[in-house]
Amino acid sequence: MVSRGEVALIIASTGLQAGLLLPEYFTSVVIVVILTTLIAPPLLKILFQPQGKLNSSKKIGL
């Protein structure tokens, strides 16, 4: 399994422990990290679907 969002969670946790980040903002950061981790892969799969095979004349601009 590929870990995603771990850097953001580490930075947010460090900021929370140092008193630089309020608990309310920490909760928001965690929610956003979880949502982007769940939403990004299916969205990228949809956006980068192959559009079909091109024949050779379309590849060279004829």
28: nearest Cα among 18, 15, 41: 15
Residue 57 placed within a domain = no
Residue 28 placed within a domain = yes
Amino acid present at 60: I
What's the CA gap between 37 and 22, in Å, rounded?
23
Residue 29 placed within a domain = yes
Residue 48 placed within a domain = no
What's the CA gap between 15 and 24, in Å, rounded?
12
Residue 50 placed within a domain = no
Copy the structure tokens of residue 43.
């969205």
> What pLDDT is attached to residue 4?
77
pLDDT in tens, the chain (62 residues): 467 789 999 999 999 999 999 999 999 999 999 999 899 889 989 999 887 665 555 556 66
Total count of domains within the chain: 1
Copy the structure tokens of residue 30.
């965690």
Domain that holds residue 27: 1-41
Residue 24 placed within a domain = yes
Query: Tokens 């309020």 — which residue?
Result: 22
Amino acid present at 59: K
